[in-house]
Amino acid sequence: MFFKSKYIIEFSKPKAEILDDIDKNLYKKFFDWNKRFAGKVSDNSFDVKFFQDKMSPYFKGRFVGKENKPESIELTVYSDVFSIFGSIFEIVIFLGFAIAFFLQEYYLWTTAMVIIYILIVLSHRVRINNAKDNFFEYLKKLDTFSKIVAVKK
């Protein structure tokens, strides 16, 4: 697990109802095209990612029991190793082209390559933030009284 961020989500609904709804939205068969997630759901946890977005971060949730509190999920959002290797591969390719253009004194092309690289990195960050927002929006639709709190490291 790389690039992790953690959240605590408190629900007013029981965990069985939450996990059942996530399970209903899992892609399980070949013709489940209208499903939102790929992954697995167990009795006390889930590990899913968005089905349509292959570079989507993973959302790993585990119910934690607390006294006098509603159902709580400890949610971890992380990227897998292949996403990280893909990003590193992009960095190496773009830096290789930028260095080649710089050595041939094509400074305008070098500047353009650096700008394109910065835009790609920013688009990855925006994509991850959008995936988090979409997942939190999905959880809010499950339970409108849920609370999402980021855990500081």
**pLDDT-based confidence at 1, cuts 50/70/90?**
very low
| DSSP 8-state code for residue 56 | P
| pLDDT tens track for 7-62 | 888 888 888 888 888 888 887 767 666 777 788 888 888 888 887 776 778 889 88
Helix axes 107-142, 81-103, angle to 10 degrees: 160
pLDDT of residue 146: 85
**Over pLDDT 70: what percentage of the chain?**
88
